[in-house]
Amino acid sequence: MPDDIQRLLSKHEELHGFPGMLGSIDCMHWSWKNCPKSWQVQYTRGDKGRPTIILEAVAEIIEDMAPGTSFTVNGTEYKKAYYLADGIYPEWSMFVKSFSCPQDEKRKKFKKYQESARKDVERTFGYLQGRWEILQAPAKAMSVNKIRRTMYACVILHNMIVEDSGNAITSYEEDFINKPRNLPRRTFEERLKVDERTIKELRDRHVHHSLCHDLVEHIWSLP
């Protein structure tokens, strides 16, 4: 897993020019045909007009297993990698968003690079829907759990096809997956402190703005 993450970081920087980038995060609405009437209000958004399930694509890393993802950009060192996101996400240190109306050339170039890199995750849902017909039609299951399992099945089958074709970034390591992990045992108070510290770091707006500034300068320096 540490090697996989380092390969992801290197690949994203090579292709898109963003150091420390784990990937992009995005979501889609899957229409829910058989949503129970008692749930329809909470699953219906104003601009959709019908019940939908929000599906979000994102890589997730367990803190105790995550390797050091520190990186340096524009002379500033950052401890945690980040995801590229659009305007609906908050100003947290883990998200790097584009500018809605850039006025100067530096921000215009950054907006172009950021939105170009995010096309990877935006194409993901379209590719899955094109490959699996069940994802094109409104979900007919009566429970959220069945809808979730349907999506998991499609993603797993897609990954099997990618690996079988030899296009996977890394191979499936069954021994590593099944190997027992000796994670440090912590008391409830210790876990609570770790969670509080992690949440505070991930939601740091100062780091968010500083990282965006440094990335703008970095992208501007690229040919």
pTM of the model: 0.77
Q: What pLDDT band is residue 209 in, cutting at 50, 70 and 90?
A: very high
Report the C-alpha gap between 92 and 9 in whole angstroms. 19
Confidence band, pLDDT 50/70/90 cuts, at residue 107:
very high
Q: What is the pLDDT of residue 177?
A: 56
DSSP-assigned states of every residue in 104-172: SHHHHHHHHHHHHHHHHHHHHHHHHHHH-GGGTSPB--SSHHHHHHHHHHHHHHHHHHHHHTT--SS--
Q: What is the mean pLDDT of the chain?
A: 84
pLDDT, position 123? 80
What mean pLDDT comes out for the span 14-27? Answer: 88
pLDDT in tens, 25-80: 888 888 999 999 999 998 998 778 889 988 876 644 434 444 457 899 999 999 88
C-alpha–C-alpha distance, residues 141 and 52, integer Å: 12
Looking at residue 129, its pLDDT comes to: 83
- Between 29-38, 113-122, 174-183, the lowest mean confidence (pLDDT) is in 174-183
pLDDT confidence of residue 19: 93
